[in-house]
Each structure stands twice: as C-alpha cells, then as structure tokens.
Amino acid sequence: MQTDNAPRLVLASASPARRALLHAAGIDVEVLVSGVDESTVEAADAHELCLSLARLKARAVAATLPGDPGVLVLGCDSVLAFDGEILGKPHTPAEAVRRWRAMRGRSGVLHTGHHLTDLTTGKQAEDVGATVVHFADLTDEEIEAYVASGEPLHVAGAFTIDGKGGAFVERIEGDAGNVIGLSLPLLRRLLMTFGVTVPQLWRTERKEDA
C-alpha cells in the first residue's frame, strides 16, 4: 500500500507486462482499460502513431474518472518500426510467421509512447522511448514453434524479451523496459514535470510482507 498523500497512478493499459514492470519497481497501479480501437488510428511514422495511441488511451480513461486530487493517468502504446513498416500486434499466426521470416537476422526500432495526465489540473506530459532490437537468425522450425506458442500474436512487433521471445533477440540498444512496454526512466522524467518523484509512488510494505 501507499501513504495517504501519495499520488495515485492509473494505468490505461491491459498489458500485464507493463503492470508487472511497475510492480517490480515498487509501484502499484490501478488498471483501467481504455477500449480505444487502435485500428482506427493512422500516422505517418512509428513515433507519431505510438504517441497518438498512448494519448488516446490516457484521455479515454481520464474521461471516465472524477477529478480526484493526486490522480495521474498513464497511457502507453508500443509499435515496431521495421523495414519501412509500422508493426503493431500481428493477431494472426500467418502474419506473425510472415513478420518473423522478414525480421530474422535483422534489426528494428521499438517505439513506446507514454502519455501522463493529471486529473485535477488537466496538465499533460508525453514522450516516446525508442530502443533498437537485433533479432536472431531463426530457423523456420523456430519461427513455427514460437508462433504456435501463441505469445507473439498479441504483442507489438510479434515478439517479447521477457518471455519465450527473449531467446530470439540477440541484443538491444537502449532501455529494456521500453521494449517490454514501459520505460521507467522516461516515466520518471514525465512525473517530474508534475512535481512528483518516483519514491512518492513506492508502496509501503506491511511488516508481514518484509
């Protein structure tokens, strides 16, 4: 639990990876799914698209909440820029296989948009994290097995680094958390524009949890 005067962070995302990343960093959040139809949003590049989606998610959730003091709504969205394409979730096995056959042995840039809204003041802050991802040169059999696992179907770029897909990423350049779906250093910078520090969000452990 957090102290009574601590800011309350609401995560406008259904991603269990984002919630787990925040929890591991000592931050408990309330999750409210925005319901935004991502397929209706278009943009010229990955940077603009992920930021637009993060903004829409945060604003959609903020609109459903009362303006309680100290409540911050965080929206995030990730996409992969690869070979001139903007890749979100593949959704189908055939599309996931197609992507992996193109990506193997090559590199892409994972972009994650972050948008933070203060419900009391209406103040907003946003930014995008970008991490270069170098993919392993997978065999056809590895691609088929990975897609059959179901993991890549519902994640941006058709891969993870914190699950089965971690074996298929040779290295990254940048923040690993950003690839998982949320950059903690970037979140810290956004929070500071509201006069909030990360330690203020840390949960206070009960004695029995120590």
Residue 81 Cα to chain centre, angstroms: 15
Residues written for the chain: 210
Amino acid at residue number 137: D
The residue annotated as part of the active site, out of 4, 28, 37, 77, is 77
Residue 130 burial (10 A CB sphere; 0-12, 13-18, 19+): middle
Q: In this structure, what token pair is assigned to residue 164?
A: 């089965």
Known catalytic membership, residue 140: no
In angstroms, the Cα distances linking 173 to 33, 170, 178 are: 30, 11, 11
Q: Give the active site residues.
A: 77
